Protein backbone atom coordinates (compact mmCIF):
# COMPACT_ATOMS: atom_id res chain seq x y z
CA UNK A 1 0.00 0.00 0.00
CA UNK A 2 1.33 3.43 -0.93
CA UNK A 3 0.61 6.86 0.51
CA UNK A 4 -0.43 9.83 -1.65
CA UNK A 5 -0.23 13.17 0.13
CA UNK A 6 -2.76 15.72 -1.17
CA UNK A 7 -1.19 19.13 -1.85
CA UNK A 8 -4.38 21.10 -1.26
CA UNK A 9 -2.96 24.06 0.62
CA UNK A 10 -3.98 27.70 0.24
CA UNK A 11 -0.71 28.94 -1.24
CA UNK A 12 1.78 27.39 -3.62
CA UNK A 13 4.61 28.24 -1.21
CA UNK A 14 2.87 26.24 1.54
CA UNK A 15 2.62 23.21 -0.75
CA UNK A 16 6.30 23.55 -1.61
CA UNK A 17 7.27 23.83 2.08
CA UNK A 18 5.21 20.70 2.80
CA UNK A 19 6.88 18.84 -0.06
CA UNK A 20 10.34 19.78 1.12
CA UNK A 21 9.56 18.75 4.70
CA UNK A 22 8.69 15.26 3.41
CA UNK A 23 12.05 14.72 1.72
CA UNK A 24 13.19 11.11 1.85
CA UNK A 25 9.77 9.53 2.38
CA UNK A 26 8.58 6.97 -0.20
CA UNK A 27 5.38 8.84 -1.05
CA UNK A 28 3.31 10.07 -3.96
CA UNK A 29 2.10 13.66 -4.09
CA UNK A 30 -1.32 14.59 -5.38
CA UNK A 31 -2.00 17.79 -7.29
CA UNK A 32 -5.73 18.42 -7.29
CA UNK A 33 -8.14 21.03 -8.56
CA UNK A 34 -7.19 23.83 -6.18
CA UNK A 35 -3.47 23.71 -6.80
CA UNK A 36 -3.73 23.01 -10.52
CA UNK A 37 -6.22 25.80 -11.15
CA UNK A 38 -4.08 28.23 -9.18
CA UNK A 39 -0.57 27.17 -10.11
CA UNK A 40 -1.03 25.15 -13.29
CA UNK A 41 1.60 23.18 -15.11
CA UNK A 42 4.36 25.33 -13.60
CA UNK A 43 3.62 23.70 -10.27
CA UNK A 44 4.13 20.24 -11.76
CA UNK A 45 7.40 21.41 -13.30
CA UNK A 46 8.49 22.87 -9.97
CA UNK A 47 7.81 19.61 -8.11
CA UNK A 48 9.97 17.82 -10.66
CA UNK A 49 12.71 20.43 -10.39
CA UNK A 50 12.87 20.11 -6.60
CA UNK A 51 13.51 16.47 -7.45
CA UNK A 52 12.63 14.65 -4.26
CA UNK A 53 11.74 11.50 -6.17
CA UNK A 54 8.01 11.74 -5.43
CA UNK A 55 5.69 10.30 -8.04
CA UNK A 56 3.06 12.77 -9.18
CA UNK A 57 -0.67 12.10 -9.20
CA UNK A 58 -2.70 14.68 -11.13
CA UNK A 59 -6.24 14.45 -9.75
CA UNK A 60 -8.42 16.48 -12.12
CA UNK A 61 -11.30 13.95 -12.31
CA UNK A 62 -12.07 14.50 -15.98
CA UNK A 63 -15.72 14.36 -17.02
CA UNK A 64 -16.72 15.44 -20.55
CA UNK A 65 -17.53 14.09 -24.01
CA UNK A 66 -15.16 11.38 -25.31
CA UNK A 67 -13.14 13.55 -27.68
CA UNK A 68 -12.59 16.29 -25.08
CA UNK A 69 -11.65 13.68 -22.47
CA UNK A 70 -9.13 12.03 -24.80
CA UNK A 71 -7.60 15.41 -25.71
CA UNK A 72 -7.40 16.41 -22.04
CA UNK A 73 -5.86 13.06 -21.05
CA UNK A 74 -3.23 13.51 -23.74
CA UNK A 75 -2.37 16.94 -22.33
CA UNK A 76 -2.07 15.35 -18.85
CA UNK A 77 0.30 12.71 -20.24
CA UNK A 78 2.40 15.46 -21.84
CA UNK A 79 3.00 16.80 -18.32
CA UNK A 80 4.83 13.56 -17.63
CA UNK A 81 2.82 12.75 -14.54
CA UNK A 82 2.52 9.23 -13.11
CA UNK A 83 -1.18 8.92 -12.39
CA UNK A 84 -4.44 10.69 -13.33
CA UNK A 85 -8.18 10.42 -12.73
CA UNK A 86 -11.43 10.63 -14.65
CA UNK A 87 -15.03 9.90 -13.69
CA UNK A 88 -16.29 6.40 -14.54
CA UNK A 89 -19.75 7.92 -15.03
CA UNK A 90 -18.39 9.73 -18.10
CA UNK A 91 -19.09 6.35 -19.73
CA UNK A 92 -17.37 3.58 -21.61
CA UNK A 93 -16.95 5.50 -24.86
CA UNK A 94 -15.12 8.28 -23.06
CA UNK A 95 -12.93 5.86 -21.07
CA UNK A 96 -12.07 3.88 -24.20
CA UNK A 97 -11.21 7.09 -26.08
CA UNK A 98 -8.90 8.13 -23.25
CA UNK A 99 -7.14 4.77 -23.10
CA UNK A 100 -6.74 4.64 -26.86
CA UNK A 101 -5.23 8.13 -26.96
CA UNK A 102 -2.91 7.41 -24.02
CA UNK A 103 -1.91 4.08 -25.54
CA UNK A 104 -0.24 5.98 -28.35
CA UNK A 105 2.03 7.89 -25.94
CA UNK A 106 5.47 6.71 -24.87
CA UNK A 107 4.86 6.75 -21.11
CA UNK A 108 1.15 6.76 -20.27
CA UNK A 109 0.21 7.54 -16.65
CA UNK A 110 -1.83 5.13 -14.57
CA UNK A 111 -5.51 5.97 -15.06
CA UNK A 112 -8.04 5.62 -12.23
CA UNK A 113 -11.80 5.98 -12.54
CA UNK A 114 -13.67 7.72 -9.75
CA UNK A 115 -16.61 5.51 -8.78
CA UNK A 116 -18.36 7.53 -6.06
CA UNK A 117 -16.86 10.47 -4.22
CA UNK A 118 -16.00 9.58 -0.63
CA UNK A 119 -18.01 12.62 0.47
CA UNK A 120 -21.25 10.81 -0.53
CA UNK A 121 -23.16 8.67 1.94
CA UNK A 122 -25.53 6.08 0.49
CA UNK A 123 -28.51 8.45 0.74
CA UNK A 124 -26.89 11.27 -1.20
CA UNK A 125 -25.54 8.79 -3.75
CA UNK A 126 -29.02 7.30 -4.24
CA UNK A 127 -30.54 10.76 -4.69
CA UNK A 128 -28.05 11.60 -7.47
CA UNK A 129 -27.67 8.28 -9.30
CA UNK A 130 -31.03 6.69 -8.42
CA UNK A 131 -29.18 3.45 -7.64
CA UNK A 132 -27.87 1.77 -4.49
CA UNK A 133 -24.29 2.88 -3.79
CA UNK A 134 -22.64 -0.54 -3.41
CA UNK A 135 -24.21 -2.07 -6.55
CA UNK A 136 -23.58 0.95 -8.70
CA UNK A 137 -19.98 1.35 -7.60
CA UNK A 138 -19.31 -2.20 -8.73
CA UNK A 139 -20.99 -1.50 -12.09
CA UNK A 140 -18.88 1.62 -12.59
CA UNK A 141 -15.69 -0.19 -11.59
CA UNK A 142 -16.47 -3.08 -13.96
CA UNK A 143 -16.95 -0.59 -16.79
CA UNK A 144 -13.56 0.96 -16.02
CA UNK A 145 -11.94 -2.48 -15.86
CA UNK A 146 -13.45 -3.45 -19.21
CA UNK A 147 -12.00 -0.27 -20.72
CA UNK A 148 -8.54 -1.31 -19.47
CA UNK A 149 -8.12 1.42 -16.90
CA UNK A 150 -5.64 0.65 -14.12
CA UNK A 151 -7.96 1.01 -11.18
CA UNK A 152 -10.84 2.70 -9.38
CA UNK A 153 -11.11 5.46 -6.80
CA UNK A 154 -13.47 4.33 -4.06
CA UNK A 155 -13.75 4.28 -0.29
CA UNK A 156 -12.06 1.61 1.80
CA UNK A 157 -15.49 0.05 2.29
CA UNK A 158 -15.80 -0.87 -1.40
CA UNK A 159 -12.21 -1.79 -2.20
CA UNK A 160 -12.54 -5.55 -1.71
CA UNK A 161 -15.88 -5.76 -3.54
CA UNK A 162 -14.41 -3.94 -6.52
CA UNK A 163 -11.50 -6.36 -6.69
CA UNK A 164 -13.91 -9.27 -6.43
CA UNK A 165 -16.14 -7.85 -9.19
CA UNK A 166 -13.14 -7.18 -11.48
CA UNK A 167 -9.75 -8.72 -10.78
CA UNK A 168 -7.32 -8.66 -7.82
CA UNK A 169 -4.86 -6.81 -10.07
CA UNK A 170 -7.35 -3.97 -10.64
CA UNK A 171 -5.98 -1.28 -8.32
CA UNK A 172 -7.97 0.64 -5.72
CA UNK A 173 -7.16 4.13 -4.55
CA UNK A 174 -8.95 5.19 -1.41
CA UNK A 175 -9.37 8.75 -0.10
CA UNK A 176 -11.44 9.43 3.03
CA UNK A 177 -8.67 8.16 5.29
CA UNK A 178 -8.52 9.41 8.86
CA UNK A 179 -5.46 7.65 10.35
CA UNK A 180 -5.69 8.76 13.96
CA UNK A 181 -9.40 9.54 14.54
CA UNK A 182 -9.14 13.06 13.11
CA UNK A 183 -12.22 15.08 12.17
CA UNK A 184 -14.05 13.59 9.15
CA UNK A 185 -14.58 17.07 7.67
CA UNK A 186 -16.78 16.68 4.56
CA UNK A 187 -15.84 13.00 4.07
CA UNK A 188 -18.59 10.44 4.76
CA UNK A 189 -17.19 7.01 3.88
CA UNK A 190 -14.07 7.09 6.03
CA UNK A 191 -11.67 4.51 7.44
CA UNK A 192 -8.29 4.28 9.15
CA UNK A 193 -5.02 2.69 7.98
CA UNK A 194 -5.77 -0.77 9.39
CA UNK A 195 -9.13 -0.69 7.58
CA UNK A 196 -7.40 0.29 4.33
CA UNK A 197 -4.86 -2.51 4.73
CA UNK A 198 -7.56 -5.05 5.47
CA UNK A 199 -9.49 -3.83 2.40
CA UNK A 200 -6.40 -4.34 0.20
CA UNK A 201 -6.23 -0.68 -0.86
CA UNK A 202 -3.30 -0.16 -3.19
CA UNK A 203 -3.09 3.59 -2.60
CA UNK A 204 -4.42 5.74 0.21
CA UNK A 205 -4.92 9.48 -0.25
CA UNK A 206 -4.58 11.76 2.75
CA UNK A 207 -4.84 15.53 2.82
CA UNK A 208 -6.08 17.49 5.82
CA UNK A 209 -4.93 15.04 8.52
CA UNK A 210 -1.41 15.70 7.23
CA UNK A 211 -1.26 19.28 6.02
CA UNK A 212 -3.38 20.69 8.84
CA UNK A 213 -1.31 18.95 11.52
CA UNK A 214 1.13 20.98 13.60
CA UNK A 215 3.87 18.61 12.49
CA UNK A 216 2.99 17.05 9.09
CA UNK A 217 6.32 15.24 8.88
CA UNK A 218 5.66 13.42 12.12
CA UNK A 219 2.15 12.42 10.97
CA UNK A 220 3.55 11.04 7.69
CA UNK A 221 6.17 9.12 9.65
CA UNK A 222 3.48 7.56 11.86
CA UNK A 223 1.32 6.72 8.82
CA UNK A 224 4.22 5.04 7.02
CA UNK A 225 5.05 3.09 10.16
CA UNK A 226 1.44 1.81 10.25
CA UNK A 227 1.47 0.97 6.53
CA UNK A 228 4.49 -1.33 6.94
Using the rule CB under 6 A, is 114 a contact of ligand C5P? yes
Which is catalytic among the residues 12, 55, 61, 212?
A: 61
Residue 38 is labelled as binding a ligand: no
Active site residue 167: no
Provide the minimum distance between the beta carbon of 111 and ligand C5P in the complex, in angstroms, as a whole number.
14
Residue 67 is labelled as binding a ligand: yes
CA distance 13 to 73: 27
Q: Which of 12, 208, 217, 226 binds ligand C5P (CB under 6 A)?
A: 208
Using the rule CB under 6 A, is 32 a contact of ligand C5P? yes
Binding window for ligand C5P (CB under 6 A); candidates: 62-70, 71-79, 110-118, 214-222: 110-118
Provide the minimum distance between the beta carbon of 128 and ligand C5P in the complex, in angstroms, as a whole number.
14
Q: Which of 19, 205, 219, 223 binds ligand C5P (CB under 6 A)?
A: 205
Provide the minimum distance between the beta carbon of 123 and ligand C5P in the complex, in angstroms, as a whole number.
17
Q: For residue 33, what are the contacts with CB-CB under 8 A and spacing of at least 6?
A: 59, 60, 61
Which is catalytic among the residues 17, 48, 64, 197?
A: 64
Nearest to 113 by CA among 135, 93, 91, 81: 91
Provide the minimum distance between the beta carbon of 34 and ligand C5P in the complex, in angstroms, as a whole number.
8
Known binding residues for substrate: 8, 30, 59-68, 118, 178, 187, 207-208
Residues known to be catalytic: 59, 61, 64
Instruction: Give the residues lining the site for ligand C5P (CB under 6 A).
Output: 6, 8, 32, 59, 114, 117-118, 153, 175-176, 185, 187, 205-209
Amino acid sequence: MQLCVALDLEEKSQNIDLLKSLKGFPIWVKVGLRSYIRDGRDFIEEIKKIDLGFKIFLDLKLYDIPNTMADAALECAKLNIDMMTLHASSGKNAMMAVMERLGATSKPPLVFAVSALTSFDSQEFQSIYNAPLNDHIQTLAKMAFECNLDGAVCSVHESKYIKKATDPSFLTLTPGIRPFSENNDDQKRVADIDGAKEALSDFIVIGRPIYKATNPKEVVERILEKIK
